Structure 1
Amino acid sequence: MFGHRLLKLATGAGERRFASSRQSMEQVQRENLSRLLSQVAGMQIAGAADLQANMSWEKFTSTQPVTDYDYWREAIESQRTLGKEGLSRSPVSRFQPTSGSTSAIKWVPYTKQFLGELDNAISPWVMDLYRQFPRLLAGRHYWSMSWVPTALRESMSEEINDDLQLMSLGKRLLAGATQAVPQNVSLASSSDDSLFATLAWLAADPSLSMMSIWSPTFGLGMLKDMARWRGELADVLASGHWGQRMAGVKNAGCPKSPRAAAMLREWDGALSPDFFTALWPSLALVSAWDTAASGPWAKQLHALLPQASFQGKGLWATEGVVTIPYQGQHTLAYRSHVYEFQNPDDGSVYAPWELELGQEVMPLLSTGSGLLRYRLKDLVRVDGFNQGVPVLTFLGRAGTTDLVGEKLTAPVLDLAIASLSLPGTVTPVCTVAVDDAGEGKPGYLLLLEGQSEQQDDIGAKVESQLQQHFHYQLARNLGQLEPLRCVVHPAMRERYLQQCRQRGMIEGNIKMESLQYWPGQLPSWLSLLSTEAVMANKEAVL
Structure 2
Amino acid sequence: MKALLINSAWLFSQKKLSKQFHHLLDDCKKVQEAKLTEYLKKNADTEFGKKYDFKNIKSYQEYVKAVPIIEDYSDIEPYIENMKEGKENVLFPGKPSFFETTSGSGSSPKFIPYNNDLKNEFKAAVAVWMWDLYRLDPKIFSGKAYWSLSPAMKELDKTSGGIAVGTADDSDYFDPFTALLLKEIFAVPSELHKITDSHSFYVKTWQHLLHNSNLTFISVWSPQFLIRLIDFLIENLVEILSLSNCGLSRETMIKKAVFDKNLNLEMLFPSLRLISCWTAGQSKIWLKKLYDISGNIPVQGKGLLSTEGVLSISIGLDKHLLAYTSHFYEFKNEKGEVYRADKILHGETYEVIITTGGGLYRYNTHDLVKCSGFHKSVPCLEFLGRSGNVSDLVGEKIAESSLAEIFEQALKIFPNIEALYLYPEQHQSKANYLLIIESPLAVETEQIVSFVETELFNNPYYKQAIDSGQLGRISTFKVEKNFTRKLTQHYQSVKKIKDGDLKLPLLFPPNFLAPILK
Same fold by TM-score greater than 0.5: yes
Pairing 1:293–2:282 present: yes
Give the 3 Å change call, closer, same or farther, for CA 466–18 of structure 1 in structure 2.
same
Confirm or deny: 8 A CA contact 2:352 2:364 kept in the other structure: yes
The equivalences for 1:451-466 within 5 A come to: 451-466=441-456
- Amino acid of the structure 1 residue aligned with 2:179: R
- Please name the residue that 1:535 is paired with: none
Identity level (%): 27
Pairing 1:110–2:100 present: no
- Report the more deviating stretch, 168-177 or 208-217: 168-177
- Please name the residue that 1:317 is paired with: 306
CA positional deviation for 1:364: 0.4
- Please name the residue that 1:176 is paired with: 183
Instruction: Give the Cα separation in 1 of the matches to 2:512 and 2:358.
Output: 37
CA positional deviation for 1:423: 1.3
- Please name the residue that 2:126 is paired with: 122
- Report the more deviating stretch, 125-134 or 463-472: 463-472
Give the 3 Å change call, closer, same or farther, for CA 289–162 of structure 1 in structure 2.
farther
- Please name the residue that 1:377 is paired with: 366
- Deviations 1:170-228 (Å, cap 9, x if unpaired)? 22222222110112111224344333322221121101111100000011001111222
Confirm or deny: 8 A CA contact 2:79 2:91 kept in the other structure: yes
Confirm or deny: 8 A CA contact 2:153 2:196 kept in the other structure: no
Give the 3 Å change call, closer, same or farther, for CA 121–468 of structure 1 in structure 2.
closer
Partner residue of 1:386 out of 372, 375, 389: 375
- Please name the residue that 2:437 is paired with: 448
SS in 2 for 1:517: coil
Partner residue of 1:26 out of 29, 35, 54: 29
Instruction: Give the Cα separation in 1 of the matches to 2:345 and 2:260.
Output: 44
- Report the more deviating stretch, 44-53 or 292-301: 44-53
Partner residue of 2:101 out of 97, 100, 108: 97
- Please name the residue that 1:485 is paired with: 475
Structure 1 residues not aligned, in runs of 5+: 239-256, 529-542
Instruction: Give the Cα separation in 2 of the matches to 1:367 and 1:100.
Output: 19
Partner residue of 2:492 out of 501, 515, 521: 501
SS in 1 for 2:218: strand
Partner residue of 2:503 out of 503, 508, 511: 511
Pairing 1:431–2:422 present: yes
CA positional deviation for 1:422: 2.9
- Please name the residue that 1:40 is paired with: 43
- Amino acid of the structure 1 residue aligned with 2:346: L
Instruction: Give the Cα separation in 1 of the matches to 2:39 and 2:151.
Output: 30
- Please name the residue that 1:49 is paired with: 52
- Please name the residue that 1:536 is paired with: none
- Amino acid of the structure 2 residue aligned with 1:48: K
The equivalences for 1:331-370 within 5 A come to: 331-343=321-333, 345-370=334-359
Instruction: Give the Cα separation in 1 of the matches to 2:294 and 2:409.
Output: 29
Pairing 1:215–2:222 present: yes
Give the 3 Å change call, closer, same or farther, for CA 279–469 of structure 1 in structure 2.
closer
Give the 3 Å change call, closer, same or farther, for CA 519–296 of structure 1 in structure 2.
closer
SS in 2 for 1:503: helix
- Please name the residue that 2:65 is paired with: 62
Confirm or deny: 8 A CA contact 1:292 1:394 kept in the other structure: yes
Give the 3 Å change call, closer, same or farther, for CA 263–34 of structure 1 in structure 2.
farther
CA positional deviation for 1:410: 2.6
- Deviations 1:405-443 (Å, cap 9, x if unpaired)? 2222234434554665631111444323x353x667443
- Deviations 1:35-80 (Å, cap 9, x if unpaired)? 2123332322343333337532221122111113111112212322
CA positional deviation for 1:292: 2.5
Confirm or deny: 8 A CA contact 2:487 2:516 kept in the other structure: no
- Report the more deviating stretch, 417-426 or 359-368: 417-426
Pairing 1:330–2:334 present: no
CA positional deviation for 1:95: 0.5
Instruction: Give the Cα separation in 1 of the matches to 2:148 and 2:115.
Output: 21
Q: Alpha carbon RMSD of aligned pairs, Å?
A: 2.7
Instruction: Give the Cα separation in 1 of the matches to 2:189 and 2:405.
Output: 43
* Number of aligned residue pairs: 504
